[in-house]
Amino acid sequence: MNLLVFMLSSKHVIDLPKKVVVGSGVINDIPSIVKELRLGSKALLVSGPNVKVVIGEGVANLLSSNDVDVEVVVVRESTSDVVEDLLGKFSGKGFDFVVGVGGGKVIDVSKYVAARLGIPFISVPTAASHDGIASPFSSIRGLGSVVSIKTRTPVAIVADVDVISKAPKRLLLAGAGDLVGKFTAVLDWVLAHRLKGEYYGSYSASLALLSAKHVINYSELIRGSTLEGVRIVVEGLISSSVAMCIAGSTRPASGSEHLFSHALDVVANYPALHGEQVALGTIMMAYLHGRNWRRLRRTISMLGLPTTAKELGIPDVKVVEALTIAHKIRPERYTILGESGLTWEAAERLARITEVIS
């Protein structure tokens, strides 16, 4: 209802993917999706190193044998230098669409490049490590901000669970960790609505929350890295991305737990995977929100995700430092951390009580 009221009172554009295909062997559907969506006949295919190259080349061959002219490029990092290099090489070359075949970094780079080229983007994730696989946001290092920037919603998402199940298990667990974070993200959104009058979309909030609950309900399947577990994480990540598309911002998917993760990136130079850091942050932010942080901590631990600074591979002091600066990462995003953030003493107490530091 809130969403409807908002839409009636001001302009709110919801840009959704046109096609989402999840399942075994669906990578073979890419040529027919390109035809169905009339994307054109000249593709820029962005892929990553190692095993992803093989998959990327497979997709390139599939497209070539279906009358699509394909240029393949391999990227290793999601940095502004990589992006500018690609734009310098491929701007004005008449590409009709971009296909990103790879993990989070490849998807971030290819989505951003497609938006800058003003052409559609197909997301073909080979790992389920974060919810950028289907969202209209990219995380690019060196663009002056550690938070995601708005790009464009992928026109299609092709998530082949056979391919994704071959990715390292740590990536899948990180994806589950990113989803657990929606618990506190939504609580922060409600708080911002109540205290600041910020727009709150109950539909997109419910959708994001559902993806977190789904992960918790099926944590044993996910931990076992079964095909079904992979599918649950992939569907959760897509749901969370769609929630962002509906909200028109990352609000339903990113709150104080994400601010903490971004702050860790600043103070400890990207020490672990995004979803691992988010999960750790969720335990602490759930405590601040007065929620059952112990149960969340148990589930996160059961999934095999880090629940302490030590397990994350960083000194305790970095957690405390990150907690004290997290509110400054994105000042316009009001969360439980408030406008002035946590003092060193409060941060230390929070991390100690939740057993993140000892």
Q: Which residues bind Zn ion (CB under 5 A)?
A: 178
Q: How far is the CB of 133 from Zn ion (least distance, A)?
A: 11
> Residue 101 has what DSSP assignment?
E
Which C-beta is closer to Zn ion: that of 178 or that of 276?
178
Q: Of 178 and 265, which has the nearer Cβ to Zn ion?
A: 178
Report, in Å, the least distance between residue 38 CB and Zn ion. Answer: 32
Report the residue number, 178 or 321, with the smaller CB distance to Zn ion: 178
**Smallest distance, Zn ion to C-beta of residue 132, A:** 7
Q: Which residue is nearest to Zn ion (CB)?
A: 178
The distance of closest approach from Cβ of residue 22 to Zn ion in the complex, given in angstroms and rounded to an integer, is: 19
Residue 229 or 281: which CB sits closer to Zn ion? 281
User: In whole angstroms, how close is the CB of 355 to Zn ion at the nearest point?
Assistant: 23
Residue 206 CB neighbours (<10 A): 12
* Least distance in angstroms from the C-beta of 62 to Zn ion: 30
**14 or 147: CB nearest Zn ion:** 147
CA dist 307 and 282 (Å) reads 10
Q: Residue 178 or 188: which CB sits closer to Zn ion?
A: 178
Q: How far is the CB of 68 from Zn ion (least distance, A)?
A: 32
- CA distance linking residue 124 with residue 137, whole number of Å: 15
Structure token digits, residue 150: 């708005």
Q: Which is nearer to Zn ion, 200 or 260 (CB)?
A: 260
Selection from 349, 323, 351 nearest residue 336 by Cα: 323
Task: Give every CB contact of residue 347 below 8 A, 6+ residues apart in sequence.
Answer: 319, 320, 321, 323, 324
The token pair that represents 263 in the structure block: 């702050």
Which alpha helices (DSSP H) does the chain contain, by range?
2-9, 30-36, 51-64, 80-90, 104-117, 161-164, 169-180, 182-196, 202-217, 219-223, 227-247, 256-268, 274-288, 293-303, 309-312, 316-329, 344-353
Q: Is the Cβ–Cβ distance between 61 and 150 less than 8 Å?
A: no
Residues in Cβ contact with 345 at an 8 Å cutoff, skipping those fewer than 6 apart: none
